[in-house]
């Protein structure tokens, strides 16, 4: 060990880590973040780096209580969840055996902090983990007074359920008919996305930092705030792809065994996917050092985009990279590997693989003529995709598109067009054809003619902006 390594080791020991416990990996961490010319490495930052490397886990530390202090009600709640997730072999165990199987008993025989969070009652939680708690408030508009407030310190599983229920009771839902007589739901805040973000806020928060998990709910946005910044190495710009780094590893693994949430690192993926699938923007994450804020945009999703996604093969419709690319192309006429790389948080080479697959295998994109021979071509939506996405796209290509021209030519020849004609021309189902007609009506290229009020008898003729 050279002098700098020795100094580093002494600095760590001085902050509560024994010299005997130091290994090469620990020293490597300190040497990376503290060079001879750098400022002293604060203890809290040292601990965050060690957490990121799996060397510190607060949730696995022993508390001061034994099994006899835990709540019978919470044991029963835990067993119900295990049974519902198909873990009967665990649900049937006695209290001691169950805790041992879940590794919730520390080597000294005390209950771990994770066990306290899951199985202690409120008075005991307040005593053992004073910083624990949560709040919820609903505002009819962002700037108005809250009309409902909830504050509590119920155990973790009960707390998560109480908060998801509070949001669920105010969820706005619109039914949406798609091909094959299937009815989907458009919603402001998808249940799966909300649930994953709330669970993440509890299992990844810092319990060594004062503060509570707080939720602000309004029709405009849903904001979930949790104490402690993101774990060292994780940022909002790499949160989708950075290797799994749970702050509270034992707690995260236990919640995963309960099948109460996705495994760590996948919950964010699911929140992204569920928001994108209904035509909304993905979650916005902010790291303010002492807290993390996740925001979901309000408002109902986009029906045209949902119908388009519902027609895709399941493999494609659930591919997060594809959804992010399509979402980007709802607001931009083109995309290339450099732009997509930032969006999907991967390298340009990986982004190019996604774009090539969307073009060659899925027939969703086409390279522009000027860039087709470049290593990273520029892509745009194929004409039939642009038609199917119709009103979910916020731009129009300059001049009449191929789709527009086909409809215009038909109306010029026959004097009108119907939903059935649109379906035949573009091989669309009835709802996508309706969206296309409505888009043309919005732009005043078409307008309704005749007295028919609905059904197959409705005809559409030239509108005020129909090309002369």
pLDDT digits (tens, 9 = 90+) for 214-229: 999 999 999 999 999 8
Structure tokens at 290: 């002492």
* Together in a domain, 39 and 100: no
> Which pLDDT band, with edges at 50, 70 and 90, does 267 fall under?
confident
pLDDT tens digits, one per residue of 136-175: 999 999 889 999 999 999 999 999 999 999 999 999 998 8
Helix axes 156-168, 191-203, angle to 10 degrees: 150
Residue 60 lies in a domain: no
Secondary structure class of 14 (helix, strand, coil): helix
| Spatial separation of the C-alpha atoms in residues 167 and 195, rounded to whole Å | 10
| Residues β-bridged to residue 138 | 148, 217
> Which pLDDT band, with edges at 50, 70 and 90, does 38 fall under?
low
pLDDT of residue 4: 44
pLDDT tens digits, one per residue of 319-345: 999 999 999 999 999 999 999 999 999
* Together in a domain, 41 and 121: no
* Residue labelled with tokens 């982004």: 351
Residue 57 lies in a domain: no
pLDDT of residue 25: 45
* Together in a domain, 370 and 297: no
Residue 59 lies in a domain: no
CB environment 159-193: b (16+ within 10 A), e (fewer): bbeebbebbeebeeeeebebeeeeebebbbbbeeb
pLDDT at position 198 over 90? yes
> Which pLDDT band, with edges at 50, 70 and 90, does 43 fall under?
low
How many domains in the chain?
5
Please state the rounded mean pLDDT for residues 49-64: 81
Least confident of 1-10, 112-121, 393-402, 457-466: 1-10
Report the mean per-residue pLDDT for the chain.
86
* Residue labelled with tokens 């020991």: 13
* Together in a domain, 280 and 326: no
* Together in a domain, 291 and 193: yes
- Number of Cβ atoms within 10 Å of the Cβ of 396: 13
| Spatial separation of the C-alpha atoms in residues 21 and 55, rounded to whole Å | 10
Residue 286 lies in a domain: yes
Helix ranges, 267-389 (H): 267-277, 303-310, 314-317, 320-329, 337-344, 348-360, 383-389
Residue 177 lies in a domain: yes
Please state the rounded mean pLDDT for residues 119-145: 93
pLDDT at position 248 over 90? yes
CATH number at 379 reads 1.10.10.10
Secondary structure class of 103 (helix, strand, coil): coil
pLDDT of residue 48: 65
pLDDT of residue 113: 96
Give the DSSP letter string of 172-209: -EEEEE-GGG-EEEEESS-HHHHHHHHHHHHHSS-TTS
Which of 71, 69, 30 has its CA nearest to residue 53? Answer: 30
pLDDT at position 60 over 60? yes
* Together in a domain, 207 and 177: yes
Residue 159 · residue 77 · CB < 8 Å: no
pLDDT at position 67 over 90? yes
Percent of the chain scoring above 90 in pLDDT: 61
Residue 62 lies in a domain: no
* Together in a domain, 374 and 321: yes
pLDDT at position 399 over 50? no
Q: Angle 94-96-101 (CA atoms, 0-180°, nearest 5)?
A: 90
Helix axes 337-344, 348-360, angle to 10 degrees: 110
Residue 467 lies in a domain: no
| Spatial separation of the C-alpha atoms in residues 364 and 425, rounded to whole Å | 19
* Together in a domain, 441 and 370: no
pLDDT of residue 442: 85
pLDDT tens digits, one per residue of 292-306: 999 999 999 898 899
Residue 146 · residue 166 · CB < 8 Å: no
* Together in a domain, 408 and 384: no
| Spatial separation of the C-alpha atoms in residues 281 and 295, rounded to whole Å | 10
| Spatial separation of the C-alpha atoms in residues 355 and 225, rounded to whole Å | 35
pTM above 0.85, yes or no: no
* Together in a domain, 372 and 252: no
CATH number at 437 reads 1.10.10
* Together in a domain, 119 and 178: no
pLDDT of residue 274: 95
Structural domain harbouring 101: 67-128
Residue 299 lies in a domain: yes
* Together in a domain, 175 and 208: yes
Strands (DSSP E) along 228-323, which ranges?
284-287, 291-297
């Amino acid at each position: 060990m050279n002098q700098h390594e020795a100094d580093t080791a002494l600095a760590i020991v001085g902050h509560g880590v024994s010299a005997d416990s130091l290994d090469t990996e620990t020293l490597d961490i300190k040497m990376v973040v503290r060079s001879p010319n750098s400022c002293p490495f604060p203890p809290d930052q040292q601990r965050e780096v060690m957490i990121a490397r799996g060397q510190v886990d607060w949730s696995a530390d022993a508390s001061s209580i034994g099994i006899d202090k835990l709540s019978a009600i919470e044991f029963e709640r835990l067993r119900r969840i295990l049974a519902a997730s198909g873990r009967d072999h665990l649900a049937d165990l006695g209290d001691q055996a169950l805790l041992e199987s879940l590794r919730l008993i520390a080597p000294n025989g005390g209950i771990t902090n994770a066990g306290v969070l899951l199985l202690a009652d409120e008075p005991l939680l307040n005593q053992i983990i004073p910083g624990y708690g949560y709040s919820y408030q609903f505002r009819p508009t962002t700037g108005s007074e809250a009309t409902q407030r909830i504050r509590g310190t119920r155990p973790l599983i009960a707390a998560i359920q109480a908060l998801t229920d509070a949001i669920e009771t105010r969820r706005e839902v619109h039914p949406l008919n798609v091909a094959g007589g299937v009815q989907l739901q458009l919603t402001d805040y998808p249940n799966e996305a909300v649930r994953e973000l709330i669970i993440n806020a509890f299992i990844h928060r810092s319990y060594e930092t004062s503060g509570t998990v707080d939720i602000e709910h309004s029709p405009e946005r849903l904001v979930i705030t949790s104490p402690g910044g993101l774990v060292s190495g994780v940022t909002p710009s790499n949160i989708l792809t950075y290797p799994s780094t749970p702050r509270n590893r034992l707690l995260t693994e236990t919640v995963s065994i309960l099948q109460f949430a996705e495994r760590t690192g996948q919950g964010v993926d699911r929140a992204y996917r569920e928001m994108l699938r209904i035509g909304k923007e993905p979650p916005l994450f902010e790291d303010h050092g002492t807290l993390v804020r996740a925001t979901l945009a309000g408002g109902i999703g986009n029906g045209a985009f949902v119908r388009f996604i519902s027609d895709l093969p399941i493999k494609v419709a659930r591919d997060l990279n594809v959804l992010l690319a399509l979402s980007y192309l709802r607001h931009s006429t083109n995309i290339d590997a450099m732009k997509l790389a930032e969006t999907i948080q991967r390298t340009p080479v990986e982004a190019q693989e996604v774009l090539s697959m969307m073009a060659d295998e899925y027939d969703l994109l086409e390279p522009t003529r000027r860039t087709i021979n470049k290593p990273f071509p520029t892509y745009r939506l194929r004409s039939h995709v642009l038609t199917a996405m119709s009103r979910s796209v916020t731009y129009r290509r300059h001049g009449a598109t191929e789709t527009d021209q086909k409809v215009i030519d038909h109306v010029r020849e026959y004097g009108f067009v119907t939903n059935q004609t649109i379906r035949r021309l573009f091989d669309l189902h009835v709802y996508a054809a309706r969206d296309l007609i409505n888009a043309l009506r919005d732009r005043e290229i078409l307008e309704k003619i005749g007295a028919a009020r609905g059904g197959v008898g409705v005809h559409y003729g030239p509108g005020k902006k129909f090309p002369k």
